[in-house]
Every structure is written in structure tokens, then in C-alpha cells.
Amino acid sequence: MAELLSADSRKQALGGIPGWTETQGRDAIRKTFVFKDFNEAFGFMTRAALVAEKMDHHPEWRNVYKTVEVVLSTHDSGGVTGLDIELAAAMNAIAKLTPA
């Protein structure tokens, strides 16, 4: 089981992954990605899904047209762990590769 991040560790980690914020009311982080159109949003989700599957760490997400809302939390651990930070950073990198 992955270890929960302390408040200080989480704050420091979030500083290194632009756009990610703490989720109000639960131990999770979130970000909304906006793309040019549905095709780009779906392409992002497909690439992110491959990374998530390889990590065996799966996001909560919602897609409406060109917008993808992502929430990350390690359910087995009951909150935010290094796995969430790693997947968030990977998603940011994937989004940069997706034409906007």
C-alpha cells in the first residue's frame, strides 16, 4: 500500500505540477484539462489511460466534449500518495504533447 503524503509533502509536490489543486472536502487532487475539440480530449484520455494502466493506478475522470476533469486519490491508502503525484505529472506531460 502506498504511503499518504504529509500536508507539507503534498504542498511541495503540487508546486511542481502546474494546475493541480487540492480537492475540497476530500483527500484528493484535481485538474481540468481543456483541449481544442473532442478528438484531442479523447486522445489525451487514451494516452493517459495507457500510463495509468501500466502504473495500476486509475483516475476518476469525466469528459464533456473538449474538457477532461480529473481527480486523483489512492483509494487503497485513503488519500493522496506519490502515485497520484506521479500520474498527475505524467498527465501534464501528455497534455503538452496533445495539440491545442
Domains and CATH numbers, the chain: 7-97 (3.30.1360.20)
Instruction: Identify the residue whose cell numbers are 480537492.
Output: 23
Q: What is the pLDDT of residue 97?
A: 78
Spell out where 13-72 has E strands.
Answer: 21-22, 29-34, 60-64, 67-72
d(C-alpha 91, C-alpha 95), whole Å: 6
Decide: 57 and 9 in contact? Cβ < 8 Å.
no
Contact 48, 15 (CB under 8 A): no
Q: Are strands 60-64 and 29-34 parallel, antiparallel or unpaired?
A: unpaired
Query: Tens-digit pLDDT profile for the chain (100 aa)?
Result: 789 999 899 999 999 999 999 999 999 999 999 999 999 999 999 999 999 999 999 999 999 999 999 999 999 999 999 999 999 999 999 998 766 5
Look at residue 99 in the predicted model and tell me its pLDDT.
61
